């Protein structure tokens, strides 16, 4: 009898230990997004005199590791710097006596009407900047009348972001998983929530050499809840490990594969060569996104603006072109559209605005860019976006050929 009691006690003890372990795991999962990481909680409009000021202002309130992750580029950051400097390769002719009055910045992309030719680029982990994370950015984009692009590596769920947008247009950016079921489920979820396009990012089979992250030993302090569970927990992982869990062997068949999973338009993001634009279109891309990932992947690559014109010539209006990397001013927006883009996307300035003022800060950034673009359009004698597309830019003589 004593032996039976001892055996029962041992079994009960084992069951109790198992219960404690399960309980601990459940608590850990439930608090995955809790952290000592202190993101901003500001909620206010921000005054912008110069958009370049936002970076230093945001540095004061975003914890150092998170700020360096947001700001940083690959290796020596030469390509990241070139992204902005490249806009100085061409000039805008001032035009007068054109009768322009109150320029109109409204346009459309893939059938979606927007208030300005600027959308929010997909970027990971807005929660590093503000407690509202991508939900805050989505609310700001909606209030400004433009499109919110949502990364697979967002720190809000797709449901939370869609709810914050309250019916405003949103696109879902997909990093392909090695798990086909997870890919299908993510796309189906995005469709069910009302996302209006799938952005397939193809320029990140591995992560770039981001030296500042390595020096900081940066690990995500927050979970990225949309990453397939088979990829493992994202909290406490660096971006390199997260990229490694994604599909790293990409081909035209992956574009076809994503097309087979959805009736939504599929945008291929990360195009930096005319031949790759052709390949993507032949594989079924509904739009091309010219980008070098904000200078965060291959350092030593050309600035995105430097390759835009050649890519636009090859595309030849067969599909729309979205452009990002280095856009900070109205003149940048103008030049990109004149060079062949239909709309541009911005990443870091939106996140800085989010840190400084929450969703109202995002609206402030987009309103600043709209006003700045209107000013440039007026001085360049262009009434609307079509006029910009028909504008000839002046190449700087120090870059002219000797022919």
pLDDT averaged per 10 residues, the chain (length 403): 59 54 41 70 97 97 97 96 97 96 97 98 97 98 98 97 98 95 96 98 93 93 87 76 84 97 98 98 98 96 98 98 98 98 98 98 98 98 98 78 44
Residue 397 pLDDT: 66
Residue 14 pLDDT: 54
Give 140's contacts (C-beta < 8 A, 6+ positions apart): 350, 353, 354, 358, 359, 360, 361, 362, 363, 365, 366
Residue 247 pLDDT: 87
CB atoms within 10 A of CB 284: 15
Residue 230 pLDDT: 64
Q: What is the dihedral of CA 58, 62, 63, 65, to 10 degrees?
A: -70
Residue 2 pLDDT: 60
Q: What are the extents of the domains in the chain?
A: 1-30, 53-397
Residue 330 pLDDT: 98
Domain 53-397 fold: TIM Barrel (3.20.20)
Assess whether 293 carries a catalytic annotation. yes
Q: Out of 126, 130, 293, 332, pick the active-site residue.
A: 293
Residue 23 pLDDT: 45
Residue 236 pLDDT: 76
């Amino acid at each position: 009898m004593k032996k039976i009691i001892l055996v029962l006690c041992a079994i009960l003890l084992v069951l109790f230990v198992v219960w404690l372990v399960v309980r601990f795991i459940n608590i850990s999962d439930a608090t995955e997004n809790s952290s000592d990481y202190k993101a901003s909680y500001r909620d206010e409009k921000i005054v912008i005199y110069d958009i370049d000021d936002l970076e230093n202002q945001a540095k004061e309130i975003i914890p150092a590791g998170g700020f360096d992750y947001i700001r940083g580029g690959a290796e020596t950051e030469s390509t990241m710097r070139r992204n902005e400097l490249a806009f100085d390769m061409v000039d805008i002719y001032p035009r007068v006596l054109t009768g322009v009055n109150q320029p109109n910045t409204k346009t459309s992309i893939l059938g979606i009407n927007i208030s300005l030719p600027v959308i929010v680029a997909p970027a990971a982990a807005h929660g590093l900047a503000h407690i509202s994370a991508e939900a805050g950015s989505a609310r700001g984009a909606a209030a400004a009348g433009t499109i919110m692009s949502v990364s697979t590596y967002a720190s809000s769920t797709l449901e939370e972001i869609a709810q914050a947008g309250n019916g405003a247009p949103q696109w879902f950016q997909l990093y392909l998983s090695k798990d086909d079921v997870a890919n299908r489920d993510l796309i189906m979820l995005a469709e069910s929530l009302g996302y209006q396009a799938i952005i397939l990012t193809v320029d990140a089979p591995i992560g770039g050499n981001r030296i500042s992250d390595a020096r900081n030993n940066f690990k995500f302090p927050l979970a990225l809840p949309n990453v397939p569970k088979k990829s493992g927990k994202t909290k406490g992982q660096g971006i390199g490990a997260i990229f490694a869990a994604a599909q790293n062997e990409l081909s035209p068949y992956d574009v076809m594969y994503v097309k087979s999973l959805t009736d939504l338009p599929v945008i291929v993001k990360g195009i930096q060569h005319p031949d790759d634009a052709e390949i993507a279109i032949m594989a079924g891309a509904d739009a091309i996104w010219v980008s070098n990932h904000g200078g965060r992947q291959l350092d030593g690559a050309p600035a995105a603006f430097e390759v835009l014109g050649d890519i636009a010539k090859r595309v030849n209006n067969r599909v729309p072109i979205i452009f990002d990397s280095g856009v900070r001013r109205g003149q940048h927006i103008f030049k990109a559209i004149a060079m062949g883009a239909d709309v541009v996307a911005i990443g870091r300035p939106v996140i800085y605005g989010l840190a400084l003022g929450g969703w109202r800060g995002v609206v402030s950034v987009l309103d600043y860019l709209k006003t700045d673009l209107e000013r440039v359009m007026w001085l360049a004698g262009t009434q609307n976006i079509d006029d910009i597309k028909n504008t000839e830019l002046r190449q700087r003589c120090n870059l002219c050929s000797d022919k």
